[in-house]
């Protein structure tokens, strides 16, 4: 719904511009050919703006990291929208069993509910990163709002774990021109992901594992979810169930399982 609203606003604003331009040109006596160029240019601009908002890694609103170097024999498994219980703790149990590191892009509101899970994650070598306070989409928000949702979440994570996060991932991956600068002002590199597997649709643990394993290649950043937006009682059991097969496959392929910061530090940034 939010996507449709944003698209409608961009198109309406463009239509208004074209109308104004046409009126102005009619008065000034410009030939109709100018009008056609104006419409064409506006459509191209619309396309760029919508691409910038909804694609997870277009350069329109500034470049961001979406994978490590293709030749580094490592991957980063990331979990968004948590922590939730019992799932995040169950994921930590599986990671411990496989001696794997992962990254949790947490929501401030969820972190507030389960601070002990964040402390455990950090104690066991995982990375806790910033996914905003309440998963509110950012494209229609002001620079001040965006900076505030990032700052507030980082402050809480630092207070709970003793470490300030250094990565930010926008809710839904949707950005506007102020997201990257706001994240960097708060000391966070804006990041996306290489591939997701639609795990929140709950397609079955086998499907989640199969899709994840298919995308496991050097430098990949896998997007999974230990929550679902602000849903207070999401069901992430299929992700928990799929995880051992995914970690096993990475190991079999000789891919180290690193935190995202470690993957990027190891690999230098590939955009
Ligand atoms: Zn999310």
Residue pLDDT, tens place only, 55-83:
777 777 887 888 887 777 999 999 999 99
The DSSP secondary structure of 156-174, one letter per residue, reads HHHHHHS----EE--GGG-
Check whether residue 87 and residue 167 sit in a common domain: yes
Distance CA 233, CA 86 (A): 10
Give percent of the chain above pLDDT 70: 91
Asked whether residue 241 is assigned to any structural domain, the reply reads yes
The three state secondary structure string of 44-73 is: HHHHHHHHHHHCCCCCCCCCCECECCCCCC
Q: How distant is the alpha carbon of residue 51 from its chain centre?
A: 15
CA 221 to ligand 1 center in whole angstroms: 15
Q: Do 247 and 159 lie in a common domain? A: yes
Q: Would you state the pLDDT for residue 109? A: 96
Reported as a single tens digit per residue, the pLDDT across 23-33 is: 666 666 655 66
Q: Judge if 84 and 34 occupy the same domain.
A: no
Would 152 be classed as within a structural domain? yes
Same domain, 241 and 169: yes
Mean pLDDT of the region 48-52? 84
172 CA from centroid of ligand 1 (Å)? 5
Q: How many whole angstroms from 219 Cα to the centroid of ligand 1?
A: 21
Residue 208 lies inside a defined structural domain of this protein: yes
Using the predicted structure, report yes or no on whether residue 183 has a pLDDT greater than 90.
yes
Q: What percent of the chain has pLDDT over 90?
A: 69
Q: Are 84 and 44 members of one domain? A: no
Does a structural domain hold residue 59? no
Distance 254 CA to ligand 1 centre (A): 29
Quote the DSSP letter at residue 198.
-
Catalytic sites, residue numbers: 80, 225
Mean pLDDT value across the chain = 90
What is the structure's pLDDT at 1? 56
Are residues 235 and 136 part of one domain?
yes
pLDDT at residue 153, as a whole number: 98
Q: Is 62 within a domain?
A: no
In a shared domain, residues 50 and 79: no
CB atoms within 10 A of CB 216: 20
Tokens of 129: 């990163």
**Which of the four pLDDT bands, split at 50, 70 and 90, describes residue 101?**
very high
Same-domain status, 15 and 136: no
In a domain, 80, yes or no: yes
- The domain of 128 spans 74-267
Distance 134 CA to ligand 1 centre (A): 9
> Which CATH number goes with the domain that contains 79?
3.20.20.370
Q: Do 174 and 254 have their domain in common?
A: yes
The Cβ of residue 269 has, within 10 Å, a number of other Cβ atoms equal to 15
* Rg for the chain, CA atoms, rounded: 21
Whether residue 270 is predicted with pLDDT greater than 50 in this model: the reply is no
Tokens of 101: 């590191």
* Residue 63 covered by a domain: no
Q: Is residue 230 part of a domain?
A: yes
Domain count across the chain = 2
Q: Is the pLDDT of residue 269 over 50?
A: no
Residue 159's pLDDT is: 98
Residues contacting residue 161 through CB under 8 Å, at least 6 positions apart? 118, 119, 121, 122, 128
Please check whether residues 124 and 216 belong to one and the same domain: yes
Separation of CA 189 and ligand 1 centre (Å): 17
Are residue 229 and residue 157 in the same domain, yes or no? yes
**Residue 66 has what pLDDT?**
85
pLDDT in tens, 185-243: 999 999 999 999 999 999 999 999 999 999 999 999 999 999 999 887 899 999 999 99
Q: Which residue has the higher pLDDT, 149 or 40?
A: 149
54 in helix, strand or coil?
A: helix
Are residue 33 and residue 130 in the same domain, yes or no? no
Q: Where are the beta strands (DSSP E) in 153-263?
A: 167-168, 189-190, 195-196, 221-225, 256-258
Give CA separation, 219 vs 63, 120, 131, in Å: 17, 26, 21
Distance, in Å, from the CA atom of 223 to the CA atom of 79, rounded to the nearest integer, reads 6
Query: What average pLDDT score do residues 80-102 get?
Result: 97
């Amino acid at each position: 719904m939010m996507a449709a609203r944003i698209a409608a606003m961009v198109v309406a604003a463009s239509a208004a511009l074209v109308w104004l331009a046409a009126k102005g040109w009619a008065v000034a006596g410009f030939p109709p050919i100018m009008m056609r160029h104006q419409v064409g240019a506006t459509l191209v601009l619309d396309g760029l703006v919508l691409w910038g908002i909804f694609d997870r890694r277009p350069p329109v609103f500034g470049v961001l990291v979406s994978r490590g170097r293709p030749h580094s024999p490592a991957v980063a498994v990331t979990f968004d929208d948590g922590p939730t219980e019992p799932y995040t703790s169950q994921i930590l149990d599986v990671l411990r069993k496989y001696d794997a590191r992962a990254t949790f892009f947490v929501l401030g509101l969820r972190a507030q509910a389960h601070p002990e899970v964040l402390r455990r994650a950090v104690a066991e070598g995982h990375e806790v990163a910033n996914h905003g306070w309440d998963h509110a989409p950012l494209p229609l928000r002001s620079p001040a709002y965006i900076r505030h949702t990032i700052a507030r979440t980082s402050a809480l994570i630092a207070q709970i774990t003793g470490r300030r996060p250094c990565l930010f991932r926008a809710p839904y991956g949707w950005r506007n021109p102020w997201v990257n600068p706001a994240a960097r002002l708060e000391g966070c590199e804006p990041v996306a992901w290489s591939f997701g597997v639609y795990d929140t649709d709950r397609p079955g643990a086998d499907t989640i594992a199969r899709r994840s394993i298919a995308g496991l290649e050097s430098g990949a950043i896998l997007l999974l979810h230990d929550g679902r937006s602000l849903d207070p009682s999401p069901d992430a059991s299929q992700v928990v169930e799929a995880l051992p097969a995914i970690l096993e496959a990475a190991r079999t392929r000789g891919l180290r399982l690193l935190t995202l910061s470690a993957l990027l530090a190891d690999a230098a940034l590939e955009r």
